[in-house]
Structure 1
């Protein structure tokens, strides 16, 4: 990428409303004629909780925005004619109005591929943690007892993967080391992928009724919202575990809470929750976290030093590519209205 002059008067402002944006990614932006501005988020809060009025103030004069969980709406974009590119430092984009991005002549990107191994590692970790009842065992030791909570193997179990994009494939690759039988439910079926990952495609009912572990890796949209609810949870085996490192809205958390309490399923490992987008579910999240057969973590799927460093660099390169009018990193563009803006 050609490095433009970096005179302060010509540098383009790039707002970053994400924590843990590292020095290497900041240096890359500066070396290519941008001035990164890192927003001061309230302690313990993400940009999804920042009011639109504050976002507008922060984004004044910005050409690029590296965003986390803030809602990128038509109304917000309309107030920011100078903003050319919105880059997510992750892969989900359900909070981003892609139609508005396109129609208003902007570009929206994701950090495709950057956190695949990081999320896949956590997925396996949650399978092991909930299956081996690590939270219960740790609690026993802290209480001064060596009482053993008898768990179950992941070795040679049947694992169902719902959604088979990059992360689902990375999970399947890791599961081969455990000699698992892997079932996949996906909107599309690829024979080459099936051979490469030694998987079996199947319908959702068969996957749920057969699997010892069910792991969700589907995007959240109108067709997948509350995919796991009373009806589908009842299809699972009473000995099965449910893992979600994708999006909270894939599960109806109230129904999951009921299924866990009643013994409909054996347990769950959860990195994401409905309460992240709907505060009305905060009590449900707390109740899920209190159950002995549930392992919960606070949406840390992509949050390792290495994973965030990769994501930061992809997001920065996306911003630079748009501002310089150069080709984008593969798989990163989710909305591109530049042709519209040139009409």
Structure 2
């Protein structure tokens, strides 16, 4: 009997839940290597391991990313399964040239839990929840005055799976909905009563601006000082997507000048000495958007199944570099 193909589980969040899926994993035609020590893997170790497995389950935001030149060195590696919807941290062209299939995860559970996080940040900063928690713990029982999202205007930058999930929650708050999206689902837009506008108009009209676009060369640093200046002084910026969409120094400057009322950010600042950390009207979390059990379990299983489908020749609808299939067929 031939050996099962070896698959390395290098995604820390997936390593958190792997033990609870052992019965399911035992039935699969792969040998999943899920050592907890992989959490501290170094780049030299990663480079070597890439030559010792047919598949890798990885993170698109890994602190120790896969370098493009390594992909061409990995004659054994056939698939990289990213346990997330994003894939900006991997060079897709290099993977395609090396004949390596790259997959991502777009399960509904993953989008729904991130949408929850966006709303948690919105309510936390708008209603000053954490600010009052800190005051009470310091013995200060004074009450401030927050902002409710009810019947306010919500501007959504990006109407993908997560952006649409945020919209569905906004309906219960009777919000006016604005969005900017290059490829909108017009049936959804019409059903939910969304007004499509340009980004500049969205920023100027919204009481809450929620970011839900992918990070790429075009969107990196998209929210900079000139755009922040367009926001209402009473408005809040919510970013449960990627940290680098927003220029941190520009956000701090805009807050210092009262260009907006506050921000909810699902990432700590790059500089842990950033003055943003001293601002009462900014709420931070440590990229917790996907850190809800139902979401992590679903993302893990989908990431594993993607590897199985690719390695066994099954149908996989989550391939983000489909050109690799045509390339591989032409050279086989």
Partners of 1:73 and 1:25 lie apart in 2 by 30
- Corresponding residue for residue 31 of structure 1: 27
**Of 229, 239, 257, the match for 1:234:** 229
* Correspondence 1:243 to 2:231: no
Partners of 2:235 and 2:141 lie apart in 1 by 26
- Corresponding residue for residue 283 of structure 2: 295
Q: How far does residue 274 in structure 1 lie from its aligned partner after superposition?
A: 6.2
* Correspondence 1:18 to 2:11: yes
- Equivalent residues of 2:51, 2:75 under 8 A apart: no
- Corresponding residue for residue 74 of structure 2: 80
**Secondary structure in 2 matching 1:333:** coil
Report Cα offsets for 1:193-235 as digits up to 9, x if no partner.
2112221101111100000000000111122111110100000
Q: How far does residue 26 in structure 1 lie from its aligned partner after superposition?
A: 4.5
Q: How far does residue 11 in structure 1 lie from its aligned partner after superposition?
A: 1.6
Partners of 2:269 and 2:314 lie apart in 1 by 38
* Correspondence 1:66 to 2:49: no
Partners of 1:204 and 1:259 lie apart in 2 by 18
Partners of 1:26 and 1:61 lie apart in 2 by 22
Aligned residues between the structures: 322
Q: TM-score, normalised on structure 2?
A: 0.92
- Corresponding residue for residue 56 of structure 1: 47
Q: How far does residue 124 in structure 1 lie from its aligned partner after superposition?
A: 0.7
**Secondary structure in 1 matching 2:8:** strand
Report Cα offsets for 1:82-115 as digits up to 9, x if no partner.
1111111111111111111111111101111341
Q: How far does residue 282 in structure 1 lie from its aligned partner after superposition?
A: 4.1
- Equivalent residues of 1:73, 1:100 under 8 A apart: no
**Of 93, 96, 104, the match for 2:98:** 104
**Of 134, 138, 143, the match for 1:148:** 143
Partners of 1:178 and 1:318 lie apart in 2 by 37
**Secondary structure in 2 matching 1:215:** strand
- Equivalent residues of 1:160, 1:182 under 8 A apart: yes
- Equivalent residues of 2:252, 2:276 under 8 A apart: yes
Structure 1: where are the runs of 5+ without partners?
Answer: 1-6, 276-280
Partners of 1:91 and 1:190 lie apart in 2 by 18
**Of 64, 87, 94, the match for 2:88:** 94
Report Cα offsets for 1:237-256 as digits up to 9, x if no partner.
00000000111111001101
- Equivalent residues of 2:221, 2:244 under 8 A apart: yes
- Equivalent residues of 1:119, 1:245 under 8 A apart: yes
**Secondary structure in 2 matching 1:218:** coil
**Secondary structure in 1 matching 2:172:** helix
- Corresponding residue for residue 307 of structure 2: 319
- Corresponding residue for residue 278 of structure 1: none
**Secondary structure in 2 matching 1:111:** coil
Partners of 2:300 and 2:272 lie apart in 1 by 30
- Corresponding residue for residue 327 of structure 2: 340
RMSD: 1.8
Report Cα offsets for 1:26-68 as digits up to 9, x if no partner.
44343122111124358xxx67xx5321112333421111101
Residues 138 and 273 of structure 1, relative CA distance in 2, 3 Å threshold: closer
Partners of 2:23 and 2:321 lie apart in 1 by 27
- Equivalent residues of 1:25, 1:316 under 8 A apart: no
**Of 140, 159, 172, the match for 2:154:** 159
- Corresponding residue for residue 210 of structure 1: 205
